[in-house]
Amino acid sequence: MKRLAALLAALFWLASSPAFATVVFITSGTSFTVPADYNSAANTWECIGAGGQGGTAVSGASGAGGASGGYSVASNVTLTQSSSITVAVGAANGGGASGNDTLAKNNSSTTFLLCEGGGNASHQNGAAGGGVTRAVGTATAGTTSGNISANANRGGGSGSGAPGPNGAGKAGNAVGCTGGNGGGGADAGSSTGGSACSGTSGGNGGDGTAGTGHGTGGTTTTSPTNGTLGGGGGGGGSGAGHTLGANGGNESLWTQTSDSAVAGPGGGGGGAATLSGAPGNGGVGGYGAGGGGGASETSNNGTGGNGGPSIIVLTYTPTGGSAVLHSLSSIGAGK
């Protein structure tokens, strides 16, 4: 009997472990078919709102970084198996207005999950992060991006990192140099803000939630590197071929069951560097993160990097798991 009790305890532990959960990404469309084995008593729904675009430079002013979207989570949502529900997936660069929310509704058309998008920078002016005013679920606001001083021949500001289960992402930077600023890291924890540029060199991106993953800033002879694991992209360097801001990386938080695709909160895009006659464009943000700002030059100006896309993530323990558990228990009992 002791051996049987130990076996049953182990089986119950296995059945409740993440390895037995099903994970589904929703990244497009207006409807979603609830899985046939959906479990209303064991599920988690999460979303990250879309990131805002970095500012495009104008003569006399470089672009600020874009703001990050908000994060929200809801648990044990009751839905009818195999039914169709309404969803909306906000568009990157769509801004923080209500028409760009990322959301899901139940079978009664009541919204049970909603994340606001991050704001787009307007030239040198930063934007507000995705808020919690309209958010549904347990929400964390996106991070606002700062203004950058209105000076010609300057690199761009950097995008804010996206929030996640651990908390808010970190801001980029908005110091005026010829190099670009580094993008902010994602999802609190041990994440860090983006570093400032220094003269002709770009700033490093911030680390992601695990304290790693930052992209390195460019120089006059080297290009910046993209962030990984939720780290921000490095700022561009003021040298020929090296002025583009680098892209933010995504945290490896969720793995989709159907195809092993990986997603998670993203780091902010790095700001571009300027160079006579060839200012750079800002880097792209990871999921929910802001894009980097474009660099300014007297007669030619860089464009802002795109904000990161939004995503809805469903994680649930299939209802069939109880049948599997019963079968394994029967084997353990010698039946």
For the segment 204-248, what is each residue's pLDDT rounded down to a tens digit?
A: 999 999 999 999 999 999 999 999 999 999 999 999 999 999 999
Per residue in 267-318, pLDDT (tens digit) is: 999 999 999 888 999 999 999 999 999 999 877 899 999 999 999 999 999 9
Q: What SS3 class is residue 61? A: strand
Which amino acid is present at 113? Answer: L
CA pair distance 215, 194, nearest whole angstrom: 10
N-term to C-term CA, the chain: 14
pLDDT at residue 220, rounded to an integer: 97
**Phi, psi values for residue 328, rounded to 5°:** -65, -35
Quote the mean pLDDT of the chain.
91
User: CA-CA distance, 208 to 186, in Å (whole number)?
Assistant: 5
Q: What is the DSSP letter of 6?
A: H
**With a threshold of 0.95, does the pTM exceed it?**
no
Tell me the domain boundaries of the chain: 34-79+92-105+126-142+150-335
**Predicted confidence (pLDDT) at residue 335 exceeds the cutoff of 80:** no
Alpha helices by DSSP H, 29-110: none
Taking only the tens place, the pLDDT of each residue in 119-145 is 999 999 999 999 999 999 999 999 999
Q: DSSP for 118-155, please give it.
A: PPPPBTTB--PPP-SSS-BSEEEPPPPPPP----SS-P
Q: How large is the average pLDDT for residues 152-159?
A: 92
Confidence of residue 14 (pLDDT cuts 50, 70, 90): very low
**How far is C-alpha 70 from the geometric centre of its chain's CA atoms?**
9
Instruction: Report pLDDT for 297.
Output: 87
Amino acid 190 reads S
Tell me whether residue 185 is exposed, middle or buried, using C-beta atoms within 10 angstroms of its C-beta: 0 to 12, 13 to 18, 19 or more: buried
- Least Cα distance to 179 among 194, 162, 160, 165 occurs for 194
